[in-house]
Chains A and B, each alone.
Chain A
Amino acid sequence: MHPPTLIEKIWNAHVVHEQPGAPTLLYIDLHLVHEVTSPQAFQDLRERGLNVRRPDLTVATTDHSIPTTDPSLPIVDAIAATQVAQLEANCRDFGVRCYGRRSERQGIVHVIGPELGLTQPGMTVVCGDSHTATHGAFGALAFGIGTSEVGHVLATQCLLQRKSKTFEVRVDGALRPGVTAKDIILALIARIGVGGGTGCILEYCGSAIRALTMEQRMTVCNMSIEGGARAGMVAPDDVTFEYLCGRPYAPIGADWDEAVARWMQLPSAEGAAYDRSITIDADRLGPMITYGTNPGMGIPVTAPLPEPAQVADPLQRDSIRKALHYMGLEGGRPLLGHKVNVVFIGSCTNSRISDLRSAASLLKGRRVNPQVRVMVVPGSQQVKRQAEAEGLPEIFRAAGCDWREPGCSMCIAMNGDQLQPGEYSVSTSNRNFEGRQGPGGRTFLASPLTAAAAAITGVVTDVRTLL
């Protein structure tokens, strides 16, 4: 037996039952719920006459389908309004707390979990959303589930799970100016591909990961799923504890001391073995951007686009050719200088206060290119209040940006915030799939700094030229 990893320690502590020939029954410490993937699960509970087993471990919010306009106004989209009302009714009927559209705690589910101190090291966290991987930044085992499994957790607080492989992602060195956590994760996915982490849980480690703030670690873990891994984790340390201390749901007093002592036991033991490992040199990373129609199609912003003719594998060659065609791009040419119509700063990847500060630092005293529409969407009501306290909305508005209400917004384009067919965005979100930001829309994924740079120049830009 080799010494256990962080992942194995959390897994072992949550085994409820094991039976030969069946997956492990795993206990879930925190279940986050939103309006899009839960209605059919609550309906299933009603039909079976079941209750929510642990409403005290269940927290709901509205984020995906809500407008990012004034919350005192009704939702115009009747189908979305019905869905939001259904979540509120379900939460009322089943006794689940819901931070709804007019709550001061409302926000993107993966922003509010951490900021309220709900997400803590060593926990198992699930949500009917693939970006649940975000919460792994705290050293929690956090992963997305489907609606059937949402029903299982609501009814039993448990899930049937098979053990994943462990995949160590070591990022050593120091990031250079203009290079961010988003660039680390885009570089990783470009390297392993969108299926590279399938069947694995990633553990991020190394000096460059240790040097990241909690919000930056969340950006990295958030996009683990874009590399195919259901979860991505960072072992908890003083940065984690400092972030959590004093948050509304964090333990206090003697409970806090006891919790920290317990959390300090979580990091992988010396000599722990992983099924796979990869190393990234942070010193050598530049700002990254995606050019294609999946998050693995990423390049350094200064690099030329790939030439399909030079790709050996026929299906891979077709993928790149098809992606370039959809994106209206030509292989071999640079992406730098390419026209941009929309800049979106937001999403569960990059809508936290440090992301907004980062974008504002570049936009302060500058003007957005008049050809570009810029949307800044804070991740939560709390992020919005903090930004207001720091005067960030004034900076964004003075530059010519649209400052909006919290929600998933143009990351998933369910709420009317979307691209027009053929438009190009530089987006701080996590997915560049065809039509993800609106039918026919074309997405370049990048960091808040790179997005802000494009907002100013109106074209894909190396932010280091503006620093």
Chain B
Amino acid sequence: MSGAMNFRSRLVPLPINNVDTDQIIPARFLKTISKQGLDRQLFNDWRYDAQGQPKPDFILNQPRARGAQILLAGDNFGCGSSREHAPWALGQFGFRAVISTSFADIFQQNSLKNALLPIMVPADAHTALFALVDRDPEAEVTVDLASQTVTLPDGRVVEFPIDPFSKHCLLEGVDELGYIMKNEEAIAGYEALRVGSINTLA
């Protein structure tokens, strides 16, 4: 759960809007009962041809994607299905952050629970980042969660929002389920008050 806090990396540009989770990992790979081994299937249908051979023109198959930790994507990244396999696959490939102008709600929540940072930047910064990797594919940026910033090679600093609780959980390695369970008294109290109005499916 640690290590997503401050890092420097190249960017993998994917200038496509509304990338849905069916593209991130197609549904036919969701028959697994494990969380592991999903990196091979990340962007499967864009990444491989019908014979399973890598398509050389797809960005993840190019040398610049090797070791890169940041995906730079178009607007509304992660829309569609709620599958948490999407952030699992992105994380297992090596990504620690996705930068976009906006994220689908469920994808964003799933990512935060898996130490994959959804970094939302304003449109002008988004354009500047695409222009940067266009000019220099090797350009690196620094992500710092504590200061909520992305720093470009020319020193420009772009701030990004993150909800304080998620930030705290990521920085301190707080386990959300453990946190909820500390509220046992409140949960039991709520159940005791609501006993008549909860449908017990009796």
Q: How far is the CA of A286 from the CA of B167 in the complex (A)?
A: 47
At the interface, yes or no: A123 with Cβ under 8 Å from chain B? yes
- Chain B residue contacts of A436, Cβ below 8 A: 22, 27
Q: How far is the CA of A320 from the CA of B35 in the complex (A)?
A: 34
Q: A16-B187, A79-B32, A146-B106 given as contacts; is B165 within 8 A of A22 (CB)?
A: yes
Q: A22-B165, A40-B34, A434-B22 given as contacts; is B198 within 8 A of A29 (CB)?
A: yes
Contact A435–B45 (Cβ < 8 Å): yes
**Shortest CB–CB separation between residue A267 and chain B, in angstroms?**
18
Q: A17-B186, A294-B20, A414-B30 given as contacts; is B199 within 8 A of A152 (CB)?
A: no
Binary A-proximity of B92-117 (CB < 8 A = 1, otherwise 0): 00000000001111100110011000
Q: How far is the CA of A183 from the CA of B179 in the complex (A)?
A: 44
Contact A162–B30 (Cβ < 8 Å): no
Determine which of B15, B75, B199 lies in contact with A123 in the assembled complex, contact meaning CB atoms within 8 Å: B199
At the interface, yes or no: A21 with Cβ under 8 Å from chain B? yes
Number of A residues near B (Cβ < 8 Å) is: 79
* Residues of A participating in the B interface, judged by any CB pair closer than 8 Å: 16-17, 21-23, 25, 27, 29-30, 36-37, 39-40, 43-44, 48, 56-57, 59, 64-65, 77, 79-80, 82-83, 86, 97, 118, 120, 123, 128-130, 144-149, 151-152, 155-160, 162, 164, 194-195, 198-199, 225-226, 228, 230, 249, 251, 262, 294, 296, 315-316, 318-319, 322, 412-414, 421, 431, 433-436, 439-440
Query: Which among B15, B106, B197 has the greatest number of chain A C-beta atoms within 10 A?
Result: B106
Q: How far is the CA of A129 from the CA of B83 in the complex (A)?
A: 7
Closest to B81 in A: A130
Contact A162–B201 (Cβ < 8 Å): no
Across the A-B interface, give the 5 residue pairs with the lowest CB-CB distance, nearest first.
A195-B76, A39-B33, A146-B110, A146-B84, A144-B82
Number of B residues near A (Cβ < 8 Å) is: 57
Query: Which among A198, A251, A433 has the greatest number of chain B C-beta atoms within 10 A?
Result: A433
Q: How far is the CA of A149 from the CA of B179 in the complex (A)?
A: 13
At the interface, yes or no: B26 with Cβ under 8 Å from chain A? yes
Contact B26–A228 (Cβ < 8 Å): no
**Shortest CB–CB separation between residue A93 and chain B, in angstroms?**
14
- Chain A residue contacts of B79, Cβ below 8 A: 194-195, 228, 294
**Shortest CB–CB separation between residue A277 and chain B, in angstroms?**
20
Contact A148–B176 (Cβ < 8 Å): yes
